[in-house]
Amino acid sequence: MAKTQITAEPGIPQIIMTCEFDAPRDLVYRAYTEPELLQQWLGPREYTMTVKENDVRDGGKWRFVHSDGGGHEHGFHGVFHGNPSPEGIVRTFEYEGAPGHVSLETLTLTERAGKTLVRTVSSFQAVEDRDAMIASGMERGVHDSDERLTELLARLQAG
């Protein structure tokens, strides 16, 4: 059901992600902001996610830690800017494994016919920051896939 569209243009320090959920906006907003709900979905299944801090207001701090159960922990934190609401959330994001490389995340929630589209724009300080964040913070086994290569080539052709 959930189909995540991710766009990362070469040379532009941004990632744009969209995903539609079969739920009203207020509920999706709760899932994005209430610790007990966030902990149930954010991150890979084999990681335990703990919300250490989540002060959802202008200037409030958030901090999440993902643990793999084998002593490896990945911490992320940032600050909310402006008052978060079901219409949208603006916050900074920093992976504690790469301090100082801060990105700005703008989430927009749009409801249409009972479904909610979540669009997240992550803006990094530099293309290298975007690449490093993903390379270090989201380490997982990935199979090379000729299918994805084909898709990339098709996108290169279209672009």
Partner 1 sequence: MSTDRLSVTFQALADPTRRAILARLALGESSVSELAEPFDISGPAISRHLKVLEQAGLLTRTRRATARLSHLEAEPLREVTTWLARYQRFWDESHERLDELLAALQGKPADNDGS
Binding site for partner 1 (CB under 8 A): 1-2, 4, 6, 8, 10-12, 15, 17, 19, 21-23, 27-28, 30-31, 37, 40-45, 127-128, 131, 134-135, 138-140, 142, 144-145, 148-149, 151-153, 156-157, 159
Question: Which residues 6+ apart lie within 8 Å of 15 measured at CB?
Answer: 6, 7, 8, 120, 121, 122, 124, 130
CB of 59 to partner 1, least distance (A): 26
In the complex with partner 1, the residue whose CB is nearer, 70 or 143, is 143
Q: Which strand (E) or helix (H) includes residue 52? A: strand 48-54
CB of 53 to partner 1, least distance (A): 20
Per-residue tokens: 74:
């990945």
Radius of gyration of the chain (CA): 16
In the complex with partner 1, the residue whose CB is nearer, 12 or 59, is 12
Find residue 103's DSSP bridge partners: 93
CB of 79 to partner 1, least distance (A): 22
In the complex with partner 1, the residue whose CB is nearer, 59 or 149, is 149
Q: Does residue 118 contact residue 19 with C-beta atoms inside 8 Å?
A: yes
